[in-house]
A and B are shown apart, each in its own frame.
Chain A
Amino acid sequence: MTMDTPAPTTTDRDAVVRLGAVSLSYGRTRALENVTLSIPKGRSIGLIGPDGVGKSSLLSLVAGARALQSGQVFVLGGDMASRRHRQAVCPRIAFMPQGLGKNLYPTLSVRENVDFFGRLFGHDRHEREARIRHLLESTGLAPFAARPAGKLSGGMKQKLGLCCALIHDPDLLILDEPTTGVDPLSRRQFWDLIDSIRANRPGMSVIVATAYMEEAARFDWLVAMHGGRVLATGTPAEMLRETGAADLDAAFIALLPEEIRRRHAPVTIPPRPDSDGDWAIEADGLTMRFGDFTAVDHVSFRIPRGEIFGFLGSNGCGKTTTMKMLTGLLEASEGRARLFGHAVNAGDLRTRRRVGYMSQAFSLYGELTVHQNLVLHARLFALPEAQIPGRVAEMADRFDLAEVMSMLPDELPLGIRQRLSLAVAMIHAPEMLILDEPTSGVDPIARDQLWRILISLSRQDRVTIFVSTHFMNEAERCDRISLMHAGKVLVSDTPEAITRSRKAATLEEAFIAYLEDAATKAPPHTPVATVAARPVPDPPPAPAPIPEQARHRPTFSFRRLYSFTRRESLELQRDPIRATLALLGSVILMFIMGYGISMDVEELPFAVLDLDQTTLSRDYIQELSGSRYFIEHAPIASHKEMDARMTSGELSMAVEIPPGFARDVAHGRQVTLGVWFDGAMPSRAETVQGYIQGMHAQWLTQKARLLYGDAATAGLFNIETRYRYNPNVESLVAMVPAVIPILLMMIPAMLTALSVVREKELGSIINFYVTPTTRLEFLIGKQIPYVALAMLNWLLLTILAVTVFGVPFTGSLAAFALGALLYVVSATGLGLLISTFMKSQVAAVFGTAVLTLLPAVQFSGLINPISSMEGAGAFIGRIYPTTYFITISRGTFSKALEFADLWQALLPLLIIAPVLIGLCASALKKQAG
């Protein structure tokens, strides 16, 4: 039944997309296996199949977001392997990636999001506003224009994503699972919206991936996929006819390869024996508020022992929150919940032993093998050690895990992982299971397998099962269900009764009817954001389509560049930790370094073992204790005491004055004073040594002058030391002007690197891949806000240096400012360069810290000048921008230098900055690898 060739109705001429022998792999995983496909033009195409079969990979290749590995992809009449063609067609393609709001910016408002995309496509202000108004009104988002995208419900996020995709009138609209996790009403509205858009733009082709088989019937033409291959193509009617199946779910299973199909058996539900009337779960007015947002609003239900109770609703409607309240993970703001007649209480460990919980995402230890996971959980539930092996074997047998016991969960397919989760939840033989969307993302066969286990647990072991789902066909298998929406339970009853009560043909229609009722009853501002459930209004007349010549964009557009700058600034403003680091990070670090890296020695504790006890010995001690460098502690009585006090760290220096000191000096006999100092910290010890020698010499000259007069003191020659630029030799004066360049390197580089890597990690980088943005627009656009911030930092640091640290500024401020500007452009450029190699934000933070701090501290003349370095260090020092900015900073702070004296340091910065940006532009990829 497998058809690898395109459907006969499609000729190459009217194909919008043609794939020839396309294969794609991520590392060792094959995502696409030799796919050949021709997709007809001007139609709606459904790409069907469960998660992980290669749908998203195929779509991102078609959109040009991912680089082609092998085979050919032709889109809109050109080869997507050619960069020129991609550039030419990307304004005609719109791509909405998988995941709710994946390419949106959660902290930006609805309007700001659409506006950003409008700017990317070069609309002027008037046109942009007209289009935004039209789109927001036709999607019903207009009342929420000011709301941050992150605070929208799933359905609204998807509509916003659609607005962003449609702003430039694409000829090809690619939607990757746009309705997964969205409630049925929003789903239906979404498809109506697509239909009305297609009616207005008949030439537009729409390609949609979906995991909901019910939806697949809406499309003109289907592509069924499994295991990276195309199973079949054709209209829905053709598919049903050829497989002889009643619905597309069954048709899809019939299309699967024989060895997979064999494992499948239809799910049958034996009737439930009559309940003996004791309640397993009772919820009474459960309410959960987060701030002023009510996530769960007075939810009540009762579940008898042994029942399978389903919770049906969209993402974010409060299902998970309700389950967390039942398990005691969250404490209800209001209302009561009882399990087996006991009130739920976070401290009650006994009830927890009777409950098994499986959370939404796979949440077992990926670093432990299947066997280790089972044993660990058995132990944590305090099963007697002797019973554990038997119980683990029983679970392995029942959940069909025996073959994978020594594997790591991450190596297993999703279906088996979900079985493992269930096995872990069952390890302690609980009387109740709470399962949060156990089947999302699992293929139909594995889903049915899981359901057969659930049914046997309920019917044979009388386990109460509380399960949430957003699949209608699963809801129909439950004994009773609750329809949940926006934190409220709309109705609870058996699936048949619910369908009957609305005189609907299917459960889905009944659900939609309840949702519509709820929406009309709800006040205008419902706590959970939902689009008013009125039918989609007729869209106001659309603005004129973009004239063809407007699509030939200039290679470099300031409008697009500004669009990125504006968005980056808005996002930064709304992220507290990054904004604090950007503004205050350098100030905090300046204080730390200014005070911490000090070579000064002051108030060094010392004590004297005075065995002479004469006026002269006391005079000598006076000389030391009178200086600001040393502070005298109680005198030492013996050598033993000296040892003890130095060992404890109380004394850093001890002086021994021998008996007969005064007498011997008077007689001109050679005398030796003993000085011990703490050498543990060598650089401090060296300084101490210098001080004591200097003071000793001074004392000697003084004494000699007293005894013999001036003539005796004249030596062979004098050395006159002039400490230039910092006459008092203070650490702060020396350090602060050198610390500013280090801070202006590390933090701006780190923030800039993060800004790009964040987009890679969160997925919004796809907007750069699939829009006409050029590399330079993207890079410079993102760099500008950080350059501005760094200059603000520079100003703060300079003011701080002069006021708080009291470092005099003597040179040209203008030269310093120009140097700083060139330097921060280099620093942010370096951050961008690092970001092109980094994949995760954590790597970017630590990588940038190491790559900037090491050369800046070691090789840029902070402590030792470049002229005293050799080899690689000297080479790095000569090309690293910090070297030159340290010269400028010290020159303008301490050496009173002007522009004319500094051009030798400014010139290299003028070269380094553009070179770095050029390097980034050539290293940045315009497609995902």
Chain B
Amino acid sequence: MRGLTILHLGVKELRGLWRDPMMLVLVLYAFTFAVYTAATAMPETLSRAPIAIVDEDRSPLSTRIIGAFYPPYFTPPVLIDPQEMDARMDAGLDTFALDIPPDFQRDVLAGRSPTIQLNVDATRMSQAFTGNGYIQSIVSSEVSEFAEHYRSLTAPTVDLALRARFNPGLNQSWFGAIVEIIDNITMLAIVLTGTALIREREHGTVEHLLVMPITPFEIMTAKVWSMALVVLAASAFSLVVVVQGLLQVPIHGSIGLFLAGAALHLFATTALGIVLATLAGSMPQFALLLMLVLLPLQILSGGVTPRESMPEFVQTVMLAAPNTHFVQMAQAILFRGAGFSVVWPQLLALVGIGTLFFAFALARFRQSLR
């Protein structure tokens, strides 16, 4: 009987969702369009970085260097006077300013090792870092090629063979697509269950259920299974059709294992959705709470930036969030092809956190109806 009640109530939730066009559009958008744009719109690390060059040499070599900067990595260089440089960098017009000193070519050929000055606006972290490397190697190769005609050079004796594993091309879109799916699973789990509960409470239908021979446990379990099922189906579709099919991102691990982990994660996050709905008195308050809860869950869980570069206490606090474990598990499976033997600690953590959240949600749920 109890199982049947949960089944019927869950089917009712699914029917309700089916008649809610806004939510359906949100689910569809989150797992198709949003994933696709996140993958394709993610900028490559260096794109049209603005560079200005002060050419005090005006030699064939300096002209050659200027000619070596072009889109898509750099904007066509702006040639400026030494006096303009500071003002332009202050105004944020250029990220890089390269100063080629007078008599540069002559000094290079004479083996006097002249110095080129590269000014970098270090308030623009990502461009500053990668751009600096690109500029150094561009200038070096131009100078070496030019100098080769005049002197012979010795090669370095120890080489580095650098290989990126799991994503050899350091392709941003692989990363973007999967991070988006992980984030949207959390977002939808909370939004779908939270709004479903608030809507029921606003319409008085929860009360109606509670005067029937139905327990809060059954009502909650029905919401959890039905909404988790929707999100799970949508994310499976998104992984197979959008990520693997449309975006051609190779997935290394087992999608089945990933979905099993996602189901555990959904258990925890749908319960969290219920907790938030009981804390918020109304839909608008739920929306505000959502902003304050969802952002830290997504940003601090290690999905976007690595956990080890966060302060120790943030890392510790975030261990209580299901996202942290889910992100670790998802990245291990999807990026690195890890199996059960690797991700079992995360799965266990998700079960534990999910059970705690569910128990707390159940207690809150009963209380909030008083």
The yes or no answer to A686 lying at the interface (CB within 8 A) is yes
- A901 contacts B133, CB within 8 Å? no
Given known A364-B205, A647-B338, A668-B157, contact A715–B113 (CB-CB < 8 A): yes
- B130 contacts A686, CB within 8 Å? yes
Q: Which B residues are in CB contact (< 8 Å) with A735?
A: 125
The yes or no answer to B89 lying at the interface (CB within 8 A) is yes
A634 to B94, CA, bound (A): 44
The yes or no answer to B49 lying at the interface (CB within 8 A) is yes
Q: Which B residues are in CB contact (< 8 Å) with A868?
A: 47-50, 75, 95, 127
Given known A365-B16, A595-B300, A601-B309, contact A359–B207 (CB-CB < 8 A): yes
Given known A665-B157, A671-B159, A864-B47, contact A596–B204 (CB-CB < 8 A): no
With beta carbons under 8 angstroms apart, the residue of B50, B115, B157, B168 that contacts A679 is B168
A582 to B92, CA, bound (A): 31
The yes or no answer to B60 lying at the interface (CB within 8 A) is no
- B75 contacts A578, CB within 8 Å? no
The yes or no answer to B254 lying at the interface (CB within 8 A) is no
A350 to B214, CA, bound (A): 10
- A719 contacts B288, CB within 8 Å? no
Q: Which of B136-144, B224-232, B357-365 lies at the interface with chain A?
A: B136-144
The yes or no answer to B283 lying at the interface (CB within 8 A) is yes
Given known A359-B208, A592-B295, A719-B115, contact A734–B125 (CB-CB < 8 A): yes
With beta carbons under 8 angstroms apart, the residue of B116, B118, B162, B205 that contacts A363 is B205
- Can you name the residue of chain B whose Cβ is closest to the Cβ of A715? B113
The yes or no answer to A588 lying at the interface (CB within 8 A) is yes
The yes or no answer to B79 lying at the interface (CB within 8 A) is no
Shortest Cβ gap from A909 to chain B (Å): 15
- B205 contacts A368, CB within 8 Å? no
Q: Which B residues are in CB contact (< 8 Å) with A719?
A: 115-118, 135-136, 139-140
- B163 contacts A731, CB within 8 Å? no
A545 to B141, CA, bound (A): 90
Q: Which B residues are in CB contact (< 8 Å) with A581?
A: 288, 291-292
With beta carbons under 8 angstroms apart, the residue of B89, B115, B133 that contacts A690 is B133
Shortest Cβ gap from B110 to chain A (Å): 11
Find residues 781-827 in chain A having any chain B CB closer than 8 Å to their own CB: none
Q: Which A residues are in CB contact (< 8 Å) with B132?
A: 690, 721
24 CB < 8 A contacts A-B: A367-B15, A367-B19, A380-B214, A577-B289, A581-B288, A581-B292, A585-B291, A599-B125, A603-B308, A649-B338, A673-B159, A677-B162, A678-B166, A680-B335, A681-B175, A684-B305, A685-B167, A717-B104, A722-B120, A724-B119, A734-B124, A750-B291, A864-B48, A865-B50
Q: Which B residues are in CB contact (< 8 Å) with A715?
A: 113
Residue from A604, A684, A729, A868 with most neighbouring chain B CB atoms (10 Å): A868
Q: Which B residues are in CB contact (< 8 Å) with A693?
A: 133, 160, 162
With beta carbons under 8 angstroms apart, the residue of B143, B284, B292 that contacts A758 is B284
With beta carbons under 8 angstroms apart, the residue of B95, B125, B156 that contacts A731 is B125
- A577 contacts B288, CB within 8 Å? yes
Q: Which of A256-264, A325-333, A389-397, A476-484 lies at the interface with chain B?
A: A325-333
- B157 contacts A648, CB within 8 Å? no
Q: Which A residues are in CB contact (< 8 Å) with B89?
A: 724, 895
Q: Which B residues are in CB contact (< 8 Å) with A605?
A: 308
- B15 contacts A602, CB within 8 Å? no
A788 to B132, CA, bound (A): 42
The yes or no answer to A386 lying at the interface (CB within 8 A) is no
A680 to B309, CA, bound (A): 16
- B160 contacts A696, CB within 8 Å? yes
Given known A679-B166, A682-B45, contact A577–B122 (CB-CB < 8 A): no
Shortest Cβ gap from B152 to chain A (Å): 12
Given known A596-B299, A719-B118, contact A867–B170 (CB-CB < 8 A): no
The yes or no answer to A845 lying at the interface (CB within 8 A) is yes
With beta carbons under 8 angstroms apart, the residue of A682, A717, A761 that contacts B170 is A682
The yes or no answer to B147 lying at the interface (CB within 8 A) is yes
Closest 5 CB pairs of A and B: A679-B164, A841-B284, A363-B204, A726-B122, A868-B48
A330 to B212, CA, bound (A): 14
A359 to B205, CA, bound (A): 9
- A895 contacts B90, CB within 8 Å? yes
- B122 contacts A679, CB within 8 Å? no
- A867 contacts B94, CB within 8 Å? yes
The yes or no answer to B4 lying at the interface (CB within 8 A) is yes
Find residues 31-72 in chain A having any chain B CB closer than 8 Å to their own CB: none
The yes or no answer to B247 lying at the interface (CB within 8 A) is no
- A717 contacts B113, CB within 8 Å? yes
The yes or no answer to B319 lying at the interface (CB within 8 A) is no
Q: Which B residues are in CB contact (< 8 Å) with A865?
A: 50, 92-93, 95, 124, 127
- A674 contacts B283, CB within 8 Å? no
A32 to B9, CA, bound (A): 40
Q: Which A residues are in CB contact (< 8 Å) with B286?
A: 842
A672 to B156, CA, bound (A): 11
A361 to B206, CA, bound (A): 12
Find residues 201-246 in chain B having any chain A CB closer than 8 Å to their own CB: 203-205, 207-215
- B161 contacts A673, CB within 8 Å? yes
Shortest Cβ gap from A281 to chain B (Å): 14
**Looking at chain B, what size class is its interface with the partner chain?**
35 or more
Q: Which B residues are in CB contact (< 8 Å) with A670?
A: 155, 157, 159
- A595 contacts B311, CB within 8 Å? yes
Given known A665-B157, A665-B158, A841-B283, contact A598–B310 (CB-CB < 8 A): yes
A596 to B310, CA, bound (A): 7
Q: Assuming A592-B299, A845-B291, what are 7 further A-B pairs, CB within 8 angstroms?
A: A368-B15, A377-B212, A595-B314, A673-B159, A676-B165, A864-B48, A865-B127
- Can you name the residue of chain B whose Cβ is closest to the Cβ of A682? B170
A737 to B1, CA, bound (A): 59
Shortest Cβ gap from B269 to chain A (Å): 18
- Can you name the residue of chain B whose Cβ is closest to the Cβ of A746? B291
- A716 contacts B144, CB within 8 Å? yes
A190 to B170, CA, bound (A): 76
The yes or no answer to A525 lying at the interface (CB within 8 A) is no
- A349 contacts B213, CB within 8 Å? yes
- B118 contacts A720, CB within 8 Å? yes
Find residues 140-198 in chain B having any chain A CB closer than 8 Å to their own CB: 140, 143-144, 147, 153, 155-172, 174-175
Q: Which B residues are in CB contact (< 8 Å) with A673?
A: 158-161
Find residues 351-379 in chain A having any chain B CB closer than 8 Å to their own CB: 352-353, 355, 357, 359-368, 372, 376-377, 379
The yes or no answer to A675 lying at the interface (CB within 8 A) is yes
Find residues 629-680 in chain A having any chain B CB closer than 8 Å to their own CB: 646-649, 665, 668-680
Q: Which A residues are in CB contact (< 8 Å) with B49?
A: 864, 868
Q: Which A residues are in CB contact (< 8 Å) with B143?
A: 716-717
The yes or no answer to B331 lying at the interface (CB within 8 A) is yes
- A722 contacts B164, CB within 8 Å? no
Q: Which A residues are in CB contact (< 8 Å) with B159?
A: 670-673
A671 to B156, CA, bound (A): 9
- B123 contacts A737, CB within 8 Å? yes
Shortest Cβ gap from A754 to chain B (Å): 7
- B308 contacts A683, CB within 8 Å? no
With beta carbons under 8 angstroms apart, the residue of A328, A603, A677 that contacts B211 is A328
- Can you name the residue of chain B whose Cβ is closest to the Cβ of A604? B308
Find residues 710-766 in chain A having any chain B CB closer than 8 Å to their own CB: 714-727, 729, 731, 733-735, 737-738, 750, 754, 758, 761
